[in-house]
Amino acid sequence: MVRNHYHYMNQQGLSLEYSITGHGEPILVMHGGHSSSKEEFGYEELVEKGYMIITPSRPGYGETSKELGMNIYDTCNTYIELLEYLNIAQVHVIAISAGGPSGIHLASKFPHRVRSLILQSAVTHEWVTPEDKIYKSAKIMFHPRMEKCLWKIVRMINNLFPRYLFKKMLSSFSMLNMNDK
Instruction: Single out the catalytic residue among 19, 35, 57, 97.
Output: 97
User: Maximum CA pair distance of the chain?
Assistant: 55
CA 87 to mean position of chain CA atoms: 23
37 a catalytic residue: no
**Measured on CA atoms in the order 10, 125, 173, 70, is the torsion positive or negative?**
positive
Active-site residue list: 97
